[in-house]
Amino acid sequence: MDEELVDRLVHEAKELSAETEAAREAMMAAARRRQETILALKAAGLTVRAIAARLGSSPSVIQDALRTAISRHPQQSRREERFPYELHVILGAKMHEQPEQLRDLAMTNIRRMRETPRAPIAEGWLDRWEEILKLPVDEMEREMLKDDDQGRDMRQISPFAGALDRDERLIAMKKAQLLAKG
pLDDT tens digit sequence for 10-32 = 888 888 888 888 888 888 888 88
The percentage of the chain sitting over the pLDDT mark of 90, rounded to a whole number, equals: 62
Q: To the nearest whole number, what is the mean pLDDT of the chain?
A: 90
Average pLDDT of 169-180?
91
pLDDT confidence of 77, banded at 50, 70, 90? low
Q: What does the pLDDT read at residue 102?
A: 96
Average pLDDT of 64-75?
89
pTM: 0.80
Given a contact cutoff of 8 angstroms between Cβ atoms, the answer to whether 110 and 159 are in contact is yes
Whole-number Å distance between alpha carbons of 159 and 120: 17
Q: Is 50 exposed, middle or buried (0-12, 13-18, 19+ CB in 10 A)?
A: middle
Q: What does the pLDDT read at residue 81?
A: 84
SS3 content of the chain, % helix, strand, coil (to 5): 80, 0, 20
